[in-house]
Structure 1
Amino acid sequence: MRALTRLTTLKTSAIAVAMAGALGTGQASAGEVEVLHWWTSGGEAEAVGTLRDLLEAEGHEWKDFAVAGGGGDSAMTVLKSRAMSGNPPAAAQIKGPEIQEWGELGLLGNLDPVAEAGDWDALLPEVVADIMRHEGHYVAVPVNVHRINWLWANPEVLADAGVEVPTTWDELFAAGEALREAGYVPLAHGGQPWQDATTFETVVLSLGGSDFYRRAFVELDQEALESDTMIEALTTFKRLRGLMDEGMPGRDWNLATSMVIEGEAAMQIMGDWAKGEFTAAGLEAGEDYLCAPVPGTADAFAFNIDSFAMFRLTEQAAREAQYSMARLVLEPEFQHAFNRVKGSIPARPDLDMDEFDACAQRSMADFRQAEDEGGLVPSMAHRMAMGSDVQGAFYDIVTNYFNSSDMSADQAAERLAQAASLAL
């Protein structure tokens, strides 16, 4: 409930700021767009630089406001502080239900003129467009679609240990034993709450399927959260800890990816932003590294949509620069350039994928299939499935369970259900 309390406090402050007419005017100069985001690793920084270059080519000024760490948690803390002081940035990387939370505060601007001119309703899949709207109006623009349930692998390491990319959990654990014997870390991981939650949600998706996943993480169904399926998922998740190395606590995700790149580790479970690190290292998909759905999730697609929410501005030149940024985000030039570097797929599925690598092409094909067959699910770990208050509680429970020898899977499932009940 801590996050909910912070947002309630923020709402009181926001109303006062709005009455003063000071939203977003700050010290922004004409044509300046201050952009808050958490893309700070090598591949991510290169990707966001493409948008900066396009905006500046149109004569506007990009003021970078990058906040590293925590899978976005640190950035959201800074954003709330800025908003409470009446000086939010022009644009901020905000995702999923949090867009609605900021919309309820009355702080977001209306992008309908840009959306109508660009025919966003026709360009975007409904599952994407719906997240970008608040009360029927566009308030955010999608940058990409990430797939969470990816397993990345170093083919030379696998070959040296005599194993193949696993398609089941039994195969994964068996491969882990062979990889240990060959002197490798079977599964690279960063021991941070959001990374723990990322791995955990893929296990739930694998063992429960898409419908169960939605019941547990979107509907917050008590029976699903305390079910035998959830307990099995928690048990399997805990077993994965035995495939990791002792240096994982506190490790950033991109450092875990580097372990796979350098041949120290064999595999990593991570969203496809990890592919940006492989790309930045000059590696080629399908040859220098492999991608495959997490065991048991080939028919499902857990998605994370990066988006920029636009804060309400009163200064005309700043608003025009903001509109230009929103328009540029969905234009083919940026969608191609950004997503090829970032590792994700375009937010608009009408674009030609021939210039993308094999992993991205499979991701787009799997997205379309999952959309048709009901296999699309919003990521719990990446702010797409539930409100920030419940998600924060789930983070705590999942990471405490993963790192504790005293908490059983049954107890963890019970605590997840209790946390969810507070939001119902």
Structure 2
Amino acid sequence: MLKLVLPALLLLVSPLAAAQDAEPVPFELYHWWGSAGERDAVDALQRYVEQLGVRWAESGRVQQSNLIGYRQTLAQRIEQGDGPDAAVVLSTDVRQLMNSNALLLLDDVAAANDWDEVVPTAVQRLSRVEGHWVSIPINIHSTNWIWLNAALAHQLDLPVLDTWDDLIVALEKARQAGLVPLAIGDEAGQHMLLFEAVSAGVGGAEFYRRVFLQLKPTEPDLELLKVVFARMRELSDYAQTAGLGLRWNEATAMVRTGKALAQLQGSWAIAEFNHFGLVEGQDYHCQRFPDTQGMVLFNSDQIVVFRNQRTSDSVRAAFATALMSPEVQRELNITKGAAPARVDAVADGFSGCGRKAIHDVRMGNMRGTLLESIAMSGASPMSVSHAFYPVVSSHFRGEISDQQALKALETVWVNQ
């Protein structure tokens, strides 16, 4: 989800509008989902929309881009008065769009469908601004997963990787066997995913909350960050693919095809495994990143609906209602690899990884260990996230020392 495909235009045409108008008014959803697994998720959404009696068509140009480019293009369209009816965005985009008075308030839809009761508290913090529902949370993707090729794990006789030492032993075994231990590309976003998981493992939930959510590290926290950077440097020695320019799904493919033992990646990796017919427990394993058990670092894809006069309120309300329905959330997230953004989600039909994700979300919601991902810009202002990226990535590439990286992060906290 880090090297993105810029965007297909999904056109939803109300049959009611089609009956009343000579030329039906299109309802356009703008999104970045372009990998094979993400394409399957779009197809699942299409099936449910069509069952609601809404005609679906898809068009648009597809080209390689990144998340920054996606955001810029969306902002340009809104500024030019050519914005879509709805768009998939990250949580940090929601507040910015709300401040620009571009979003339709969804309070009535939320109240009619009990969103306050069923959406986890931490996710509501992303979907609500000043008490108003302004976006639709369509999933909960967890980022602190490590994915293992099952055949290679069996070949190396690996145990469950509960601790940091377990992980290093496993990676070293893979290296000694002539395998790629850790599949990772050269994208800063992939490095940030690794960094946040290592950070949570070193310091725990309260450390992660203070340092990355509240942006108020203490002196003991800074000492723990020295351990974090030391561990990141150790992992970089096992990242033999780091300079190959792999996109996240290409790194997943290395695990899928047995070219690499492991990958740290978000739960959207499940969609890639599903698309290529792999079976959890037989072809691949999912485990919480060592020492992060009990924590769920997460990103929630949000869909916002824009203020415009092209479609009726009833069409937009039906669209929002459908996206949050238990049925759509279930099928969409079985396909996409995420947990539904509902605490009442039924786990039937999900893989073992999906069932564990649903269980972990419920427990994290109760314990306060459902924590926003810094890699996916959910944890802090966009300016802070963007400042973290080059520091972590430069350190992982060996361009700056542990001490230089820590000093650079201290500067970010001072200036935020």
Normalising by the residue count of structure 1, what TM-score does the alignment of the two structures yield? 0.88
Corresponding letter in the other structure for 1:413: L
Q: Classify 1:74/1:253 alpha carbon distance in 2 versus 1 (closer, same or farther; 3 Å).
A: same
Residue in structure 2 matched with residue 133 of structure 1 by the alignment: 128
Q: Any residues of structure 2 matched to 1:3-402 within 5 Å, and which?
A: 30-57=24-51, 58-63=53-58, 72-223=67-218, 227-246=222-241, 248-317=243-312, 319-402=313-396
Q: Deviations over 1:131-186 (max 9, x none)?
A: 21122221110111011100110121122223334222222222222111212111
Gaps of 5+ in 1: 1-28
Alpha carbons 1:215, 1:224 under 8 Å: kept:
no
Partners of 1:301 and 1:322 in 2: how far apart?
A: 32
* Aligned residue in 2 for 1:412: 405
**Paired AA for residue 386 in structure 1:** S
Give, as a single letter, the amino acid of the residue that structure 2 aligns with 1:38.
Answer: W
Q: 1:234 to 1:68 in 2, by over 3 A?
A: farther
Name the CA shift for 1:271/1:330 in 2 (closer, same or farther; >3 Å). same
How far apart in 2 are the matches of 1:285 and 1:71? 29
Retained in 2: the 8 A contact 1:397–1:416?
Answer: yes
1:422 aligned onto 2:405:
no
C-alpha distance in structure 1 between counterparts of 2:296 and 2:207, whole Å: 14
Instruction: Supply the AA of the counterpart residue of 2:37.
Output: G
Change (3 A) 1:286 1:224: farther
- CA contact under 8 A between 2:26 and 2:311: conserved in structure 1? no
Opposite residue 133 of structure 2, the aligned amino acid is Y
CA distance in 2, matches of 1:51, 1:206: 35
State the Cα deviation string for residues 348-378 of structure 1 (Å, max 9, x = none).
1212212111111111111112222222211
Larger deviation, residues 50-59 vs 89-98: 50-59
Distance change (3 Å), C-alpha of 1:54 and 1:66: farther
Distance 1:243 1:410 in 2: 21
213-222 or 320-329, which deviates more: 320-329
Instruction: Please state whether the residue corresponding to 1:360 is helix, strand or coil.
Output: helix
Task: Give the secondary structure class of the aligned counterpart of 1:144.
Answer: coil
The code of the aligned residue for 2:98 comes to G
Specify the SS of the correspondent of 1:227: helix
CA–CA separation in structure 1 for the residues paired with 2:241 and 2:137: 38
Conserved in 1, the CA contact under 8 Å of 2:77 and 2:83? yes
Structure-2 separation of matches of 1:298 and 1:68: 38
- Alpha-carbon separation, structure 1, partners of 2:217 and 2:117: 37
Cα distance in 2, alignment partners of residues 287 and 219 from structure 1: 41
* Pairwise CA distance, 1:324: 2.2
**Equivalent-residue separation in structure 2 for 1:145 and 1:107 (angstroms):** 24
What are the Cα deviations for residues 270-316 of structure 1, in whole angstroms up to 9, with x where unaligned? 11100111111111112221111001001111011111011111234
Q: Secondary structure at the residue paired with 2:125? A: helix
Q: What is the aligned length?
A: 393
Task: Supply the AA of the counterpart residue of 2:406.
Answer: A
Secondary structure of the structure 1 residue equivalent to 2:111: helix
2: CA distance, partners of 1:381 / 1:119:
30
Maintained 8 Å contact 2:122/2:371: no
Give the secondary structure class of the aligned counterpart of 1:346.
coil
DSSP 3-state at the match of 1:35 = strand
Change (3 A) 1:187 1:246: closer
* Cα deviation, residue 201, structure 1: 0.4
**Does the 8 Å CA contact 2:44/2:335 hold for their aligned counterparts?**
no
Query: Quick one: which amino acid aligns to residue 47 of structure 2?
Result: D
Structure 1 residues 80 and 128, CA gap change in structure 2 (3 angstroms): same
Change (3 A) 1:66 1:382: farther
CA distance in 2 between partners of 1:295 and 1:48 (Å): 32
Q: Secondary structure at the match of 1:309?
A: strand
Quote how far apart the aligned CAs of 1:120 are. Answer: 1.5
> Contact conserved, 1:205 with 1:213, CA < 8 A, in 2?
yes
The 2-side partners of 1:252 and 1:311 are apart by: 31
Report the TM-score when normalising by structure 2. 0.89
Q: Share of identical aligned residues, percent?
A: 33
Contact 1:158 1:266 in 2 (8 A): yes
For 2:19, the equivalent position in structure 1 comes to none
Bigger mean CA offset, 282-291 vs 70-79: 70-79
